Chains A and B, each alone.
Chain A
Amino acid sequence: MKDTMPNIIKHITIVGGGSAGWMTAAALSRMLPTGDVKITLVESEQIGTIGVGEATIPDMINFNKLLGISESEFIKATNGTFKLGIEFNDWGKLGDSYFHPFGGHGVDMNGVDFHQYWLHTLTAGNTCELEDYSICAVAAKQNKFVLPEQNPNSVLSHLRYAYHFDATAYAAYLRKYAEQRGVKRIEGKIASVQQHTDTGNIAGLTLEDGTTVGGELFFDCSGFRSLLLGDTLGVKFRDWSHWLPCNTAQTVATEQTSKVLPFTRSTAKAAGWQWRIPTQQRVGNGHIYCDRFIDHDQARQVLLDGLDSKPISEVRTIQFKTGCQEAFWEKNCIGIGLSAGFLEPLESTSLFLIQQGISRFISLYPDAGLHPVIRNEYNRLMSREFEQVRDFIILHYKATTRDDSPFWRYVRDMDIPDSLTHKMTLFQQGGRVFRDDHELFTRSSWVAVMVGQGIFPNTFDPILANIPVADIQRSLNSMKQAMEQAVARLPDHAMFIDKYTAMQPNPTFSMGRQ
């Protein structure tokens, strides 16, 4: 048969290291036929990377699988821990606490969502929270962890998880992985970018030492600077700061506490929120806020006051603007990571958006003609991805009764996208969830946050009025009991990690060339 790809791309150049750059390099080196495509990555040790997204969502597991990286080796190399969800404190109102678990709540019965059954039992005096029926939430609260069971009859088969890890260590690990697979790394700062005069495509880069780097296709992983996509190609930025006003983060690492928690903690503050992400040896902390409502010194004090152990690093300040590019792929350049857009890591989506940027590209892998049809579809899919994550994050700010600071009054009263208003109204009236089948965040996630932040349905699904509430309560009790029994037998999270990382990695997924 004739070759179906006569005109293949021969040289891909990635600008910038860090998580975005090395994840891109690693995935391309794995997926592209060896020897056919030259991959170059240009980065400078003088330019720091921003370690965003030390917490992830379960999709990260697929990315490592795609690369053939063994999980235990990954956990060892990146100081990784496991994550079962996020604990949100003080969001709906001061003193509130809820858990947004991975996976679902309970089990849907007869085509009706579990949360409807739960709402029904509340009217008859059930005092259990929705999260008491989530295996992830129950395990997280007892500081336990185990990998999901394969047997679908086990409650542990409903367990879903992600990771916390050191993003800098991950980038280093992927650098080794990519270099072993032929990616060529060039050290240096970019002094200028050349464009083809006729097409406007990027023709090459000149580094400060005079070295020139060519390429047919460029990945812009240069971070907030957006060197190629923004500066050179002039792609405009869609500013979403009216919905998500936070624009600064201060971060600091602290000593590990006596327990390695299997979840991320997010605590709302007067003008933003603070994260707590446990890795094996230390805890990452950060305060994200809007500098229109608090000055940087006060914000620093908020961060330090909110720590639960001793700082072991300097406080770093990062400024950002929330939004994304109008085009993620323009001419022969694709932005991945912060150069494509930024959404605060409230739901740990930063690495996910990088991963989507890469896997969408691979599934649309172009030939050297770079047909606009491909670019067009890539941009549509990535815009949808950013907008959906955006709406889910806005929900956390909008669904609040907090009245204790100008910041909270602003976000509580701000206008939000119509689609989000509709979702919230629909839930408020009868607990219905707006359906959208391409959405990253599932029905359970929406329910967890809406219920957790005090959007409480006026009533439950009338279809359930048929079923005696005592019968429902019995099913719910047995679900809860099964979860508690299963969790009681689980190992402690830290113990699980020790044991897991001591194991020999599965040989079929080992590192190195295969």
Chain B
Amino acid sequence: MPGIKRIVIAGNGLAANMTALALQQQLPPDITLTLVSSAKHAELDCLYGSISAPHLYPFHLTLGVSEPDLLFNTNSTFCWGNYFDRWAMTPCSWLQGFHLPFPAMRGVGLHHFVTRHGETELATYLINAQADKTGKFAHPPEDNRHPLSRAEYGYQFDASALSALYASKLSSKVTVINASISEVATDTGDISITSLQLDNGQRIEADLYIDCSGPDAKVYSTLEQNNQASKSQVENARTLFAIHSTLQRGETLPTHRHIRAREFGWQADTYLRDSIQRLTVCSPEQKSQAIDAHGAQASIAMAFSAGHRQQAWTGNCVAIGQAASVIEPLTPAPLMMLMRDIQRLLELIPVTNTMLAEATEYNRRFIADIEHTGLFQGALFAFEHRQDSLPEHAYWQQAAQSVQSEKLTRKLTQYNHRGMLVSYDLEPFNEQDWLMLHSGMQRRPQTYDIVADQVPRAEMANQLNGMGNVIQQVVSQMPPHAIYLEKLMAYLSQKRSQ
């Protein structure tokens, strides 16, 4: 088998451990894996957010991490999505949940019928939104006739616990060296990296270098510095300020991460089994107000720069996670992007030493993923359809400026006009995500798909009512999240001890 034989991963924390574990599980044994892990604490890991989309479940299976593994070894809980609470200080509050494709009649999607029915909200017909109102949770059953089978769930997690879980799963296939990189050696012209000099005196050579060392990207950036052609500077960076702390949890265990809008930015509470994690993101100008309003002793308070490199694969080096892009942790986007980085890499493990075809394809998809993630996060600041404008404060005004994009305008215009969903190539957020966002932000299409008229109004009203009723019935029988989790853990421990 031609191609590369030695891979080095540099960095510690979530991205490094997740990448090392993924490569360990998927690559053939004749490729050697080395993880150079510096002692520096990966405090920026809180910027991966604390909520995952449903994709984490199947991704975990490929890593050899089962759901019981996750529940026993971390303080993770379930969630139906993010709850946006009076977002942008407007009356818009909604669950930004996870859902399988919405039901359709005659090939026309639910939202067109909801518009035709003269209703304003999709949430009445979404079981996750209804269950979330009262904090109910149960695993969606496989049987697709059951209304709950349409819902999907993610996790609320603590990035450092998740990172430790991945580290514990690393086997002897990965050689871990605890040292810092003191020098990155390159060939003439800085086309590729030749070796890494470590502070313990070791020198490491590899065919492929993977930089998971965070925004500074110590290894990857060496190839950029003297390489005008790659022009891979961090683009459109926006400076923000983050405050993070751990609080005591009360009795209830909400089934969402709760996001409150503030003048200075936003505050998110993540409900874990043993605690609440609070993250505030604001503009640096207003950090003192934000720290006052944070309401707890901050374990981390720091400025960060949200943006991305123009490309993430140069020569024989790939930047993964925050080394390639830092995404504001407002939605599950940062973790989605990290998983996509790893998947993209796995699909494109080089088979030649020039790696040019792989790098080109990797960068093409990287830029598309960055752009499409940006569309969804940007849409949260688009209030073209409402009277209320965004708060005057710096955070909101800057956010609104950073979302000017032709692709987003097209999406919003087509939706406003007739509920049309414009989609681009392999977007990380699906149609349901977009529909919940539009509905939550009270965006109302002027009209609907004309094919909906093929269903008589009475039949449509009947169907819609029926759906709403069945959902209420099912939700009333679901257990509260905390009780479900407690019973599930008891059951799993019993099964384990057998």
Contact = CB atoms under 8 A, between A and B. Distances in A.
B361 A432 contact: yes
A462 B3 contact: yes
Contacts of B31: 462
B351 A458 contact: yes
A425 B357 contact: yes
A242 B420 CA distance: 36
Interface centre among A429, A436, A464, by most B CB within 10 Å? A429
Given A426-B361, A458-B2, A33 B118 contact: no
Interface centre among B116, B410, B418, by most A CB within 10 Å? B418
A53 to B, nearest CB: 24
A31 B117 CA distance: 19
A374 B425 contact: no
Interface in A340-385: 362-365, 367, 371, 373-374, 377, 380
A364 B2 contact: no
B451 A459 contact: no
A66 to B, nearest CB: 8
A471 interface: no
Nearest to A5: B447
A364 B447 contact: no
Contacts of B453: 33
A377 B422 contact: yes
B414 A31 contact: no
B39 interface: no
B155 interface: no
Nearest to A427: B357
B426 A373 contact: no
A461 B28 CA distance: 10
A377 B417 CA distance: 11
B116 A4 contact: yes
B142 interface: no
B26 to A, nearest CB: 5
Interface in A461-490: 461-466
**Size band of the interface chain B makes with A:** 35 or more
Contacts of A5: 447, 450
A410 interface: no
B115 interface: yes
A32 B115 CA distance: 19
A462 B351 contact: yes
A513 interface: no
B30 A465 contact: yes
Given A373-B414, A429-B358, A365 B1 contact: no
A434 interface: yes
A422 interface: yes
Interface in B328-361: 346-349, 351-352, 357-358, 360-361
B29 interface: yes
A207 to B, nearest CB: 30
**Size band of the interface chain A makes with B:** 35 or more
Contacts of A432: 347-348, 357-358, 361
Contact of B26 (A32, A377, A380, A463): A463
B451 A363 contact: yes
A364 B351 CA distance: 45
Contacts of B351: 429-430, 458-459, 462
Contacts of B414: 373, 377
Contact of B28 (A365, A377, A438, A462): A462
B357 A437 contact: no
The interface residues of chain A, by DSSP majority, are classed as loop
B284 to A, nearest CB: 39
Contacts of B346: 463
A435 interface: yes
A40 B31 CA distance: 68
Contacts of B1: 459, 462, 465
Contacts of B3: 459, 462
B62 interface: yes
Contacts of A33: 453
Contacts of B425: 435-438
A35 interface: no
A425 B357 CA distance: 7
A48 interface: no
B117 A429 contact: no
A361 to B, nearest CB: 10
Contact of A1 (B28, B118, B352, B365): B118
Interface string B13-50: 00000000000001111110000000000000000000
A4 B447 contact: yes
B84 interface: no
Given A1-B117, A462-B1, A426 B451 contact: no
A125 interface: no
Interface in A212-258: none
Nearest to A367: B447
Contacts of A438: 423, 425
Nearest to B416: A373
Contact of A422 (B352, B361, B423): B361
A457 to B, nearest CB: 8
A431 to B, nearest CB: 9
Contacts of A111: 62
Nearest to B346: A463
A260 B418 CA distance: 47
B454 interface: yes
B349 A462 contact: yes
Contacts of A435: 365, 425-426
Given A4-B116, A373-B417, A462 B27 contact: yes
Given A377-B410, A462-B27, A365 B352 contact: no
B157 interface: no
Nearest to A425: B357
B349 A4 contact: no
B137 interface: no
A462 B350 CA distance: 8
A5 B418 CA distance: 11
Contact of B357 (A364, A429, A464): A429
B190 interface: no
B413 interface: yes
Contacts of B115: 4
Interface in B111-165: 115-118
Interface string A437-467: 1100000000000000000001101111110
Contacts of A462: 1, 3, 27-28, 31, 349, 351
Given A4-B446, A365-B450, A374-B418, 19 more contacts: A1-B117, A33-B453, A362-B450, A371-B417, A373-B417, A380-B410, A422-B357, A428-B357, A429-B351, A429-B352, A429-B357, A430-B352, A432-B358, A434-B361, A436-B425, A458-B2, A462-B28, A462-B351, A466-B27
CB-CB nearest 7 A-B residue pairs: A465-B28, A1-B118, A430-B351, A365-B450, A466-B28, A429-B357, A425-B357
18 contacts: A362-B450, A363-B449, A364-B420, A365-B450, A367-B447, A373-B413, A373-B417, A374-B417, A377-B414, A380-B410, A422-B357, A422-B360, A422-B361, A425-B357, A426-B357, A462-B1, A463-B349, A466-B28
